[in-house]
Amino acid sequence: MDMRSNDTIFEVGSNARHFVKKLIYIILLILSYSVSYAQSCEVEGTYFSTFEDIKTILDASDCASCHANGNTEADWSYDDYTSFIKSGSCGQPMIIHGNAAQSYVYEVLSAKDDLCLESSSVHKLSAEKLDQIESWINHGAPEYCLPLYPEIKSIFDANNCQSCHNQSSDMWGYDTYADILGLDLSNSCSDGAIIKIGDAFLSLLYDKINNDNQVLCGAPMNGVSAPLTQEEISKVRDWINGGALESKSTLPVVLSKFNTQDIGESILLEWTTEIEIATDRFVIEHSETGRDFEPLAEVSSIGSSDFITNYNYTDDDPSYGENYYRLKMVDLDGSFTYSNIRLTRLQKDAAEMIISPNPAVSSDRLKVTWYPKRGQDQAYLNIVDPNGRSLHRKIIFEGTNYVRLPALIEGIYYVIIEDYFGGFLLERVVIIN
Ligand code: HEC
Ligand code: HEC
């Protein structure tokens, strides 16, 4: 056999390998498409998630072994909606309806750095799953399909509320959308609003019907003639938490795309809407922590459209490290919803490490924030004593990392980060006990 035929055989082999690689790639692509989860709630052509959809995601993420079917690690489970929204052992409000950034469950699942307990890798969800949970919270985290005003009105009609609350009584009524909000009504509970949009628990209407045997003032309104069912009560709660939407025209804008990317020293934001009804503007909000957002700029909407519209904005002055963005999508009537949050890390030309606390107690967790040079995302971290002995070694990632210190006697130690290209950073840490 001469070299040439040998070459040919080799080539055929390599082609076959290419083919297999391609096939595996295609299979992976198909698999990754089939893991996107259903949004089973359809309102006037726009799709939203219900609690059942969210449960399906959590079940598929192996959360059940610790947090469902009677398992309540950290005193938190998602067996039903009520236990899902209840605080666990961290005592943080699990959901702030309409605001994922402030919701503890979102922080846990996006592996943010200020958890009360030690978070672990089991809590970091994939971007797609997190996106869906985030949208759900931003739309009020409803248990059932997001209701509109006509559905709420028919629930009250079916329960005979109109026999006392009608136009001829001078009490609160719900004949029109303006009536149900009770804005120009001095209600009998002076300091409680009839409806506090986005917060059922602070709304007199929900307080009156929720059947918990406690009312802020006056009498409970459930059971006068036809007691509301648990599902009806929950729908009223969902409606208020989801923004007390009136009709199709007040449905929140749903983005079909929202991306942010590092384009040198600036960050480019691009988003796409498919349907816009009475949208006024997009307020671009920025944060370095993912929690406290500040308005950065405004982009006006083209108004109403039923075709695809692309928008963009360039942030010319981002900070090094983490840049979180979200859009506040404001309607002509002033109501708004938030988009999902996007994170872009701006990398420096030189790496940087920040350690806290310093001095530290040896039972502390050390917070090591690492901003690598462009093009790098992980490195080794070493804790070394003054004699150069390595006491602890682990892989860390770009951004914030937590390192549990080994038991150390008081003294001076060094934290060394060595990247995969031979670069290293060194920082002195003082241990006090
Ligand atoms: C191996 C068990 C385990 C798995 C799997 C797990 N968790 Fe946890 N979870 C814990 C423990 C333990 C804590 C409390 C300590 C901590 O934060 O590490 C916790 C805390 C939490 C909290 C905070 C509760 C509080 O105290 O306020 C939430 C929310 C949570 N987990 C949700 C989830 C979700 C959602 C999933 C699935 C993606 C999940 N967990 C997977 C064990 C687990
Ligand atoms: C038998 C008559 C009657 C029926 C039926 C009735 N209500 Fe009432 N409702 C009242 C009266 C009287 C008040 C004022 C005194 C009070 O707050 O207890 C009131 C107060 C309220 C308030 C507070 C308004 C304010 O200005 O303080 C709300 C909200 C309310 N009802 C909702 C409902 C709903 C929802 C239903 C149907 C599930 C309902 N009511 C059924 C008689 C009724």
Q: In this predicted model, what pLDDT tens digit does every residue of 161-202 receive, in sequence order?
A: 999 898 888 888 999 998 898 876 666 666 668 899 899 998
Is the pLDDT confidence value at 116 over 80?
no
Tens of pLDDT, residue by residue over 285-317, are: 999 988 889 999 999 998 777 788 999 999 999
Is the pLDDT confidence value at 5 over 60?
no
* 88 ligand 1 Cβ < 6 A: yes
Q: Distance between CA atoms of 271 and 304, rounded to whole angstroms?
A: 16
State the pLDDT confidence band at 98, using cuts at 50, 70 and 90: very high
Choice from 53, 65, 67, 87 to test ligand 1 binding pocket (greatest atom count within 8 A of CB): 67
- H or E element: which one contains 280? strand 279-287
What CATH class has 352-431?
mainly beta
Which listed ligand is nearest to 130 at the C-alpha?
Answer: 1
Position of tokens 């920025």? 286
Which listed ligand is nearest to 220 at the C-alpha?
Answer: 2
State the pLDDT confidence band at 353, using cuts at 50, 70 and 90: very high
Q: Distance between CA atoms of 240 and 381, rounded to whole angstroms?
A: 49
Is the pLDDT confidence value at 13 over 70?
no
* 189 ligand 2 Cβ < 6 A: yes
Q: Distance between CA atoms of 259 and 342, rounded to whole angstroms?
A: 7
Which residue has the least CA distance to atom 15 on ligand 1?
117
> One fold for both 254-346 and 352-431?
yes
pLDDT of residue 14: 53
* 135 ligand 1 Cβ < 6 A: no
Q: For a pLDDT cut of 70, what percent of the chain falls above it?
A: 87
Q: Where are the domains of the chain?
A: 41-138, 149-244, 254-346, 352-431
Q: What is the mean pLDDT of residues 97-116?
A: 82
Is the pLDDT confidence value at 30 over 60?
no
* 432 ligand 2 Cβ < 6 A: no
pLDDT of residue 12: 45
Mean pLDDT is lowest, of 212-221, 309-318, 389-398, for 212-221
Which residue has the least CA distance to atom 2 on ligand 2?
164
pLDDT of residue 216: 81
pLDDT of residue 122: 79
Which listed ligand is nearest to 62 at the C-alpha?
Answer: 1
pLDDT of residue 120: 67
* 172 ligand 2 Cβ < 6 A: yes
pLDDT of residue 86: 94
Which listed ligand is nearest to 205 at the C-alpha?
Answer: 2
Which listed ligand is nearest to 76 at the C-alpha?
Answer: 1
State the pLDDT confidence band at 105, using cuts at 50, 70 and 90: very high
Going by C-beta distance under 8 Å and a sequence separation of 6 or more, which residues neighbour residue 14? none
What is the pLDDT of the chain when averaged over all its residues? 85
Mean pLDDT is lowest, of 69-73, 338-342, 358-362, 405-409, for 405-409
Q: Which residue has the higher pLDDT, 49 or 398?
A: 49
Which residue has the least CA distance to atom 13 on ligand 1?
74
State the pLDDT confidence band at 359, using cuts at 50, 70 and 90: very high
How many Å lie between the centroid of ligand 1 and the Cα of residue 119? 8
How many Å lie between the centroid of ligand 2 and the Cα of residue 176? 16
pTM for this predicted structure: 0.78
Q: Which residue has the higher pLDDT, 290 or 11?
A: 290
Choice from 120, 123, 130, 134 to test ligand 1 binding pocket (greatest atom count within 8 A of CB): 123
pLDDT of residue 32: 46
Is the pLDDT confidence value at 7 over 80?
no
pLDDT of residue 307: 81
Which residue has the least CA distance to atom 37 on ligand 2?
161
Choice from 164, 174, 230 to test ligand 2 binding pocket (greatest atom count within 8 A of CB): 164
If DSSP codes are grouped into helix, strand and coil, which group holds residue 223? coil
Q: What is the mean pLDDT of residues 97-114?
A: 84
pLDDT of residue 26: 60
Q: What is the mean pLDDT of residues 399-404?
A: 86
Q: For a pLDDT cut of 90, what percent of the chain falls above it?
A: 46
* 221 ligand 2 Cβ < 6 A: yes
Q: What is the mean pLDDT of residues 132-149?
A: 95
How many Å lie between the centroid of ligand 1 and the Cα of residue 68? 11
Residue-wise burial string across 400-421, b where 16 or more C-beta atoms lie within 10 A, e elsewhere: bbebebeebeeeebbbbbebee
How many Å lie between the centroid of ligand 1 and the Cα of residue 111? 11
3-state SS string for 193-207:
CCCCCCCHHHCHHHH
How many Å lie between the centroid of ligand 2 and the Cα of residue 219? 8
Is the pLDDT confidence value at 371 over 50?
yes
pLDDT of residue 398: 84
State the pLDDT confidence band at 16, using cuts at 50, 70 and 90: low
Tens of pLDDT, residue by residue over 40-49, are: 899 888 889 9
Residue-wise burial string across 10-19, b where 16 or more C-beta atoms lie within 10 A, e elsewhere: eeeeeeeeee
How many Å lie between the centroid of ligand 1 and the Cα of residue 223? 39
Q: Distance between CA atoms of 241 and 98, rounded to whole angstroms?
A: 7
Atom of ligand 2 nearest to the CA of 218: 18
- Third-level CATH fold of 254-346: Immunoglobulin-like (2.60.40)
* 72 ligand 1 Cβ < 6 A: no
Q: Distance between CA atoms of 43 and 149, rounded to whole angstroms?
A: 12
Closest listed residue to residue 262, CA positions, set 319, 328, 341: 319
Choice from 162, 208, 210 to test ligand 2 binding pocket (greatest atom count within 8 A of CB): 208
State the pLDDT confidence band at 114, using cuts at 50, 70 and 90: low
Tens of pLDDT, residue by residue over 237-291, are: 999 999 999 988 788 888 889 999 999 889 999 999 987 888 899 999 999 988 8
